[in-house]
A and B are shown apart, each in its own frame.
Chain A
Amino acid sequence: MLLLILLSFLLLTGCWSSKEIEDLALYAGLALDVGQPAPVEEEFEAKGATYSKKNKVMATIQIVPTKSTSGDEKKKMIAPKHYINISASGDSILEIFRQFSIRRDRPIIGHHLKVIVINSDLLKKQTIEQLMDFVLRDNDIRPSTLVFISRGKAQNTLISSQPNEIPAFHIYGMIRNRSRTSKVIQAVTLSKLDGLMYSKRSLVLQNLETAKGETEFSGVGIIKGSTGHWIGNLNQEDTEGLAWIKNEGHAGVIKTYDRDNEPITYEIKSMKSKTKVHVNDGKIAFHVSIKTEGRLIEIWNSKGHYTKDESNIKEVEELFKAKLKQTIDELMHKLQSVYKVDVAGFGEALALKDPRLWKSIKDDWDDLFSKTEVTFDYELKITEFGSFTDE
């Protein structure tokens, strides 16, 4: 009898809080845009299907996979899209998400969220803290989710012209190309963003540009720590410079033009930099020494003055060094004079060197940084020339 009662306890609970995976909708991407009702929403609202809200933000989620009718029909049909993007606007991201529940047949779950793309105009109006508050608090969404910025409409980055591709995964995968170029910065995850936001530090997020259903990483967007707003973008070459200074790059190229104005390319095999901090009576100065080795990989000049001759190599090395210096100088100009933010890790170097001093000045470090002297020295070595026929 007792056993029976116990058994019924067990069985009557049924499948406690169980939700079959196929009855759920995963969203893999989230795009945040300036608030304006989505076209569907407008029509709904015109018919009176509305609730009290201010259109401050438009959230677009990418739901994967779409519901296919049956497994058997896969041969006949020309591959349908593998994702659905659905947008709604409002002034609370969670409320927008719950609004989706009255439009969709399956509840959405955030475990598999991979990328968050934020429109830069939205970041001018709202702070990053406001926008990220929900995704950081929600315990479904993983802290490893990557955050990007987009100058165009963020929801366009979640559209792809490739039929079999899920744009969110595409963007997520593009981060892997850091091994080939330093135009891709180290991905900013939610957990990293949390730390940076909390300490009110300026930060950069990879910028996404879209064209004809394709997405490209193009430079970075700067978010000023003290305000939490977007203040501007750095272009692709500046991003490379950032990688040089922060010692974060792995690979890439330096291309310049030789005396005959023909392109000549250097493939970076190693790139290292070291930032030294000098503090003299409260006056802070930085010195960055950059060291790189690589190979001369592409020469368009057919006049053939490129031999393994020592002086010749020196000359070419100087060319590349000049180009590198130019890149970095341009970046430093933008950081110190145009945007007046430190996103190149000078603050960290100072904090490690002199924590007490850092504590006293960290609140207005961005301003201080713009007046700080930063010097560079370059060491560039061509170690090989690739395989080529020696005359």
Chain B
Amino acid sequence: MSAVIKYIPDWIIFIQAFIAFSVPLLLYFLYTKLYHFVGKTPSPNVNRPNEKKEPDEVNVPFTGSFEKDMEIIQELIGGNCDFRTREFTMAKLNRRAILVYVDGMQNDRLLNVKVLEYLMFEATAEDMGLPLKAAELLPFESLIEAGDIGAFNRSVLFGHTGLIIEGFPKGLLIELPDGANRAVTEPVSEALLRGPRLGFTEVLSENTSMLRRQGFTDQLVMKTYRVGTRLKKDLVIAYMKDIVNEDLLREVDSRIEKMNMDFLAESGYVEQLIEDNYLSPFQQVQNTERPDRVINEIVAGRIGILLDGTPFALIVPATFTMLLQSPEDYYERWLPSTLLRMLRFLAAFLALMAPALYISLISFHPGLIPTELAITIIETRQGVPFPSLIEVLILEVAIEILREAGIRLPKPIGPAMGIVGGLIIGDAAVQAGIVSPFLVIVVAVTAISSFSIPTYSAGFTLRLLRFVGMIFAAVLGMYGTILFFLLMCSHLTKLKSFGVPYLTPLTPYRLQDWKDIFLRVPFTLMKKRPAMFKTRNRRKST
């Protein structure tokens, strides 16, 4: 008995054990508290009663009387300065009619030459005689009947051309909006050397057509949602009916339905409203402006989300490895692709850890540096008055400022300023003895590495975490750096994107899918779709 008592440690050990035990619990508690605090956005169900109080859309039915209808319309939206009307008489029918439109949102030539000409001189009694059949007989490609004046007004203000004919109890919307659009150009944020030069534009119909044009199929389904509580917008989800996992589809559907925001300006809004963990530094929804990327992921079993008014489509679910994959990996032969992919993993690691490693080596583990290098570093750092953390922070922050400023610099002077800023600041900082030349290399490598990541927004994550890593390294050295890495890994392991673990197939371990992570094996070996999405149809080729 006394032999056992001898081995019971004293109370200090017990206190240490208690602290070691309670710190993770405490952190977990804090995390959940914070998570709930941030996540307390009112759900649409809760909000609905309030919404009712807001002045809702007017739902005035058409009266059937031409003058009366026009009066109501004029009263409701006639105050807008860009509101135009054109009243005329239909010659063959001898009835008055009026075109209602918003200036600048139609193809004027088409409107004048074809529509007016037809309506004024050709439209006959047969065409317009029977009110119910009118729609079928009018030779317009797009023709929608508006049920009430409110809907009619909204459509007109959105850019449709409205037509009201005397004696016809409904408003007709005959032309689609044709506002100023950008031409289709190469995607700016995801340039490739090899691959289609096609990028999404701001027009949803163009974007969906780009997806359609990728190939013949009747399985590509596009489903429309109206999103936004105040300014409504179209949102399309695209998936392959015979491939996509049912549960995933249901999940996406329900999350989109639950979105509660008066206006979704960009797909970034959607991303943030449907993502799983809003405290995570990692993005759980992939964004891209390349149609080829979207269609590739759709065929793999993912779901594409397109929002009107933005060239950035979303892909769900996203996994970690996706962030380091580029469509070019599949367009080039497998050997160069594999090499490039490994290079990207290395670059990501450098972008994340290089400054942290520098700090821990310089300040904590001089024995781990090769002797000759250690001597050079000592010689160059002799005049530097700061500890390595401050030194790294000075240069890193300077680089980040340059980067941020570079986006906003006017195009003609942008590159010049970038080079001047980078070179001059780096060189001058060394000359002034604020930083050591070795650090300039580290920071430059870090900055360049972070640009080699194919997804720009994934670069943000690394930039953010780099600073965290630096602080860990400054406090605890290499131990801290490794601790930071482990913490990050454990967070990633726990993270999920639409039910799919973020780190698949690394963990949960799916060796089959490893063919497309670090390596990109030849296509002949990639006969099956990734197992991680549990798609309906596993085989890619027979």
Contact = CB atoms under 8 A, between A and B. Distances in A.
Interface in B395-420: none
B364 A17 contact: yes
Decide if the interface of chain B is mainly helix, strand, loop or mixed. Answer: helix
A166 B174 CA distance: 89
Contact of A13 (B366, B369, B381, B475): B475
B409 to A, nearest CB: 32
A10 B475 contact: yes
A114 B371 contact: yes
Given A2-B30, A10-B475, A15-B474, A22 B367 contact: no
A18 B364 CA distance: 5
Interface string B366-378: 1111011011011
B381 A15 contact: no
A19 B388 CA distance: 10
A64 B375 contact: yes
Interface string B467-478: 000010011110
Interface in B15-57: 26-27, 30
Contacts of A26: 366, 371, 374-375, 378
A262 interface: no
Contacts of B368: 111
Nearest to B368: A111
A109 interface: yes
A71 interface: yes
A308 interface: no
Contacts of B99: none
Contact of A71 (B366, B380, B474): B380
A68 B378 CA distance: 10
A114 B372 CA distance: 11
Contacts of B364: 17-19
A106 to B, nearest CB: 10
A18 B363 contact: yes
B363 A15 contact: yes
Nearest to A106: B378
B366 A68 contact: no
Interface string A125-151: 000000000000000101000000000
Nearest to B384: A22
Considering residues A13, A14, A111, which has the most beta carbons from chain B within 10 angstroms of its beta carbon? A111
A67 B382 contact: yes
A18 B387 contact: yes
B443 interface: no
A68 B477 CA distance: 27
A163 to B, nearest CB: 16
Nearest to B29: A2
Contact of A68 (B369, B382, B433): B382
A21 B378 contact: yes
Contacts of A17: 364, 477
A15 B389 CA distance: 9
Given A20-B362, A20-B388, A112 B382 contact: no
The range of chain A's interface size is 20 to 34
B374 A21 contact: yes
The range of chain B's interface size is 20 to 34
Nearest to A139: B367
A71 B383 CA distance: 7
Nearest to B380: A71
B389 A65 contact: no
B375 A20 contact: no
B33 to A, nearest CB: 9
Interface in A295-333: none
A22 B30 CA distance: 40
A65 B371 contact: no
B526 to A, nearest CB: 46
A18 B375 contact: no
A112 B374 contact: yes
Given A15-B387, A15-B475, A109 B378 contact: no
Interface in B332-389: 361-364, 366-369, 371-372, 374-375, 377-384, 387-389
A68 B474 CA distance: 26
Contacts of B384: 22
A111 B30 CA distance: 42
B387 A21 contact: no
A222 B371 CA distance: 30
B387 A20 contact: yes
Interface string B238-259: 0000000000000000000000
A157 B277 CA distance: 65
Nearest to A2: B30
Nearest to B391: A20
Contacts of B382: 22, 67-68, 70-71
A16 B26 contact: no
Contacts of A16: 475-477
Contacts of A142: 367
Given A2-B26, A70-B383, A71-B433, A19 B363 contact: yes
B207 to A, nearest CB: 43
A65 B366 CA distance: 14
Interface in A28-49: 28
A72 B381 CA distance: 13
Considering residues B364, B372, B380, which has the most beta carbons from chain A within 10 angstroms of its beta carbon? B364
A244 to B, nearest CB: 34
A78 interface: no
Given A6-B30, A21-B363, 8 more contacts: A2-B26, A10-B475, A18-B363, A20-B362, A67-B382, A140-B367, A142-B367, A169-B372
6 contacts: A15-B387, A17-B477, A18-B474, A19-B366, A21-B374, A169-B371
Which 10 A/B pairs are nearest by Cβ-Cβ distance?
Answer: A111-B367, A18-B363, A22-B381, A112-B371, A21-B366, A21-B362, A65-B375, A22-B378, A65-B379, A22-B382
